[in-house]
Amino acid sequence: MRINWDYIKLMALLLVIFGLFAFSNERSKKRAVTGINVEFVGDQNLYITEAMVNKLLIQKYGSLTNMPKEKLVLNTMEEVIETNKMVKNAQVYLTVNGELTSKIVQRRPIGRIEGSTKFYLDDEGKRMPLSMSHSARVPIITGKITGKSLEDVYEILKYINDDNFLRKNVIGIHVEDEENYQLKFRMENFVVNLGGIDNLEEKFKNFKAFYIKADKDSTLDDFAIVSLEFNNQVVCTKI
């Protein structure tokens, strides 16, 4: 009988591969956590600290060091971290060296509400609590804060945040009522009456044209009020 050596070699190779896979799989199951690492993605202003993240996990699971890999439920760990209101998204994984790593994206505040209750407004228009770890340098919102005015303020903040000049210079928004918003600038004494949130692009375009000319003429200090309420006009009131 003729022996098919090619077939035997193939079967032997498959057995070796299967054995290596089984060995690797068994070794992987026995791998334990050797350390914990927390990484913050993007903005380095820490509204939640590494210690806070570790505390959340320890409260839920106890000490994680030396915990076998098979006992880790990574999806649940992510959900635990995301219960913190400063966290937008969390990803937890175990490295080949056994380090349990949490990659965290924080929520990003774009305005701070100073009303009967104090909180941040984040870049998705949601309420975000103040942090004991870091105070964000964002416009302060004052005045008659209501549900509708808060929605309008978010639209104004989004526009400000997307404009380099406005983002650097606007330090406050005051709500007179739901159709009248005032802006306070970092270096100027005048206030800007924005009116409502209609035609924001046109209003700010006109304002920046006025600002450039007044700055060139050295007359910015002459004004107490700059109004953008009227169609395609900038109306100024002198001191």
**Contacts of residue 86, Cβ cutoff 8 Å, sequence gap at least 6:** 47, 48, 106, 107, 128, 129, 131
DSSP 133: S
In this prediction, residue 237 has a pLDDT band, given cuts at 50, 70 and 90, of: confident
pLDDT digit string (tens) for 104-138? 999 999 999 998 899 999 999 999 999 988 999 99
For 99-129, letters b (16+ CB in 10 Å) and e give ebebbbebbbbbbbbeeeeebbbbbeeeebe
Sheet order of strands, 99-106 included: 35-41, 99-106, 87-94
Listed by start position, the domains of the chain span 35-106, 109-238
Q: How far apart are CA 193 and CA 181, in angstroms?
A: 6
DSSP 62: S
Beta bridge mates, 109: 122
pLDDT for 232 beyond 90:
no
pLDDT digit string (tens) for 20-39? 444 445 455 556 778 888 99
**Domain range 35-106, CATH architecture:** Roll (3.10)
Q: How far apart are CA 111 and CA 159, in angstroms?
A: 12
106 and 48 in contact (C-beta within 8 Å)?
yes
Q: What is residue 177's predicted lDDT score, i.e. its pLDDT?
A: 84
For domain 109-238, give the CATH superfamily. Cell division protein FtsQ/DivIB (3.40.50.11690)
Q: What is residue 23's predicted lDDT score, i.e. its pLDDT?
A: 41
pLDDT digit string (tens) for 51-91? 999 999 988 888 888 788 778 888 999 999 999 999 999 99
Q: What is residue 12's predicted lDDT score, i.e. its pLDDT?
A: 60
Residue 7 structure tokens: 């077939």
Beta bridge mates, 142: 174
pLDDT digit string (tens) for 157-197? 999 999 999 999 999 999 998 789 999 998 888 899 999 99
